[in-house]
Amino acid sequence: MFFNHHRHSRVALQIADGLLAFISIALAYWIRFYFLPVAVPLESREIGQGLIYLPYAILMAFAAPIVLERRGFYRHLALSGSGRVASLLEVALVLFLLAVSLIFFFKESPSRLVFLLFVPILTLLLYLRQSLLEKLQQLRRNKNEYSTNLILVADTAFGTRRWPDLLMQSGSGIRVACYLDPSKISMAAFVQSLHDESAGIVLFDVSSTNLPWATQAIQACEEEGVEAWLSTEFVGAKIAQAHFEEVLDQNLLVFRTTRAGIWQSVLKVIFDRLASALLLILLFPILLIISIAIRLESPGSSIFRQKRSGRHGAPFTMYKFRTMVSDAEMQQAELKALNEMSGPVFKIKKDPRVTKVGNFLRFTSLDELPQLFNVLFGQMSLVGPRPLPTYETLAMTANNQRRRLSVAPGMTCLWQISGRNDVNDFSDWVRLDLEYIDQWSLLLDFQILLRTIPAVLFGRGAR
């Protein structure tokens, strides 16, 4: 049998992928040094001895399993993971960028072509490894070979059907030895089943009514040294993903609705701070000119300050260039009947309180520039749901509307680039914000930032 335990397979694959990354550097060097000069006339250039590439090969051997882990290749029992060639190529490109970036830290100057060759070679080797693994999994299924017996405890027909199919497709070597209904079996009979089936795993997929029984059964598994898996279907969460985390030396089951890992969140914060600081320096002359123009047209401060709702509704002071007369907020009650946006949000296309300079600033979205200070202070992000005034947040009645507060507010989001005049229903606005939250990634942030540029230049949807 190829693997003796389903958890051993993950470690074995990580070791194998590390070796493949090491071999890929070696093959790339061999092709560049021995094959290409004969097959293709290249510019004569010293590419260095093989020992120069040894540190890079060792680094790739350690980094490859980490990058593959981040991409979800070892996350599930489905050992083939994200098997598309595009995903494997993306992993190889990340490793390539890592290797090239380290060249500047070493005195030697290795051939860049070696690292370019490394990308297709590693992609091909990982693809072949995966194909071979799938063949071995199919062979194991055909021979009816299993490494672990699993007892499935389920109280629904759906749970009884789906888990055997999923385990069979995974090729993990886990066999469903028997099915148990928690409402029809005693604890003594359950323990006897552990012995009779030589069970290594018990999978519990039960409703909340049978959770007390499952709790006792898990304790019995603990005493027997049998691994217990508990499905979180009993909670009924449809969006939040469950994770076990150690908090204050206690194991907690955490349900989190926001996506992506901590490292992506950290990179987002770093990018926000650096980008906002750089933009404030570059745009300082424009900020000064706008400030003077506002004060020349109407009396009062050029900066409009308002309490807005930040993450989880925590209030903060948001800054904008003033686009209305000084007493605009006092006049809002008189204009309430003209509101064009459904829900708690107040929007008017041709607001009589807006000044001439304010119209230009709104059309070009230049009135939003002072929010770069909010981003610099960590109160906002470049990309995120737009922050609402605190009184509009308090007027929200639906829980899903408040879920838009689960992330830091931003200067632009899907609502901004969708044409703000085309979104007149607050529920559509919320839907776009929740779509962003549920699909969030650094790549999505960059896409939104790029799409914001033409939206601002052409004044699409500006008010």
On the question of pLDDT at 267 being above 80, the answer is yes
Q: Report yes or no on 252 lying in a domain.
A: no
Range with lowest mean pLDDT among 1-5, 298-302, 410-414, 453-457? 1-5
Range with lowest mean pLDDT among 140-144, 277-281, 404-408? 140-144
Q: How sure is the predictor about 287, in pLDDT bands with cuts at 50, 70 and 90? A: very high
Residues 159 and 64 in one domain: no
Q: What is residue 409's predicted lDDT score, i.e. its pLDDT?
A: 92
- Predicted TM-score (pTM) above 0.85: no
| Domain span including residue 367 | 262-457
Pick 247 or 8 by higher pLDDT: 247
Residues 380 and 305 in one domain: yes
The last residue of a domain, from among 96, 127, 142: 142
With beta carbons less than 8 A apart as the criterion, state whether 459 and 363 touch: yes
Q: What is residue 88's predicted lDDT score, i.e. its pLDDT?
A: 83
Q: Report yes or no on 246 lying in a domain.
A: no
Q: Report yes or no on 248 lying in a domain.
A: no
Q: What is residue 36's predicted lDDT score, i.e. its pLDDT?
A: 73
Residues 92 and 219 in one domain: no
Q: How sure is the predictor about 1, in pLDDT bands with cuts at 50, 70 and 90? A: very low
Q: Report yes or no on 251 lying in a domain.
A: no
Q: Report yes or no on 344 lying in a domain.
A: yes
Among the listed residues 279, 253, 462, 269, the one whose alpha carbon sits nearest the alpha carbon of residue 361:
462
Question: 451: exposed, middle or buried (C-beta count within 10 Å: 0-12, 13-18, 19+)?
Answer: middle
For residue 141, give every residue at least 6 positions away whose Cβ sits within 8 Å of its Cβ, in sequence order, or none. Answer: 168, 171
Pick 246 or 24 by higher pLDDT: 24
Residues 93 and 127 in one domain: yes
On the question of pLDDT at 79 being above 50, the answer is no
Q: What is residue 265's predicted lDDT score, i.e. its pLDDT?
A: 80
The last residue of a domain, from among 78, 111, 142: 142
- Residue 52: alpha-carbon gap to chain centroid: 36
DSSP string covering 401-433, please?
HHGGGGS--EEE-HHHHT-GGG---HHHHHHHH
Query: Among 260-269, 315-324, 389-398, which range has the highest average pLDDT?
Result: 315-324
Q: What is residue 286's predicted lDDT score, i.e. its pLDDT?
A: 93
CATH of the domain at 213: 3.40.50.10700
The Cα 210–Cα 416 span in angstroms is 47
Residues 160 and 131 in one domain: no
Q: Report yes or no on 462 lying in a domain.
A: no
Q: Report yes or no on 209 lying in a domain.
A: yes
pLDDT in tens, 208-244: 888 899 999 999 888 888 888 888 877 766 666 676 7
For 161, the 3-state DSSP assignment is helix
Angle at 74 between CA 69 and CA 76, to 5 degrees: 135
Residues 181 and 208 in one domain: yes
Residues 61 and 109 in one domain: yes
| Diameter over CA atoms, the chain | 88
Residues 130 and 178 in one domain: no
Q: What is residue 458's predicted lDDT score, i.e. its pLDDT?
A: 63
Q: Report yes or no on 231 lying in a domain.
A: yes
Q: How sure is the predictor about 33, in pLDDT bands with cuts at 50, 70 and 90? A: confident
Length of the chain counted residue by residue: 463
The number of distinct structural domains making up the chain is 3
With beta carbons less than 8 A apart as the criterion, state whether 304 and 321 touch: yes
Query: How many CB atoms are located within 10 Å of the residue 463 CB?
Result: 17
* Residues of the chain above pLDDT 90, percent: 16
Q: What is residue 81's predicted lDDT score, i.e. its pLDDT?
A: 46
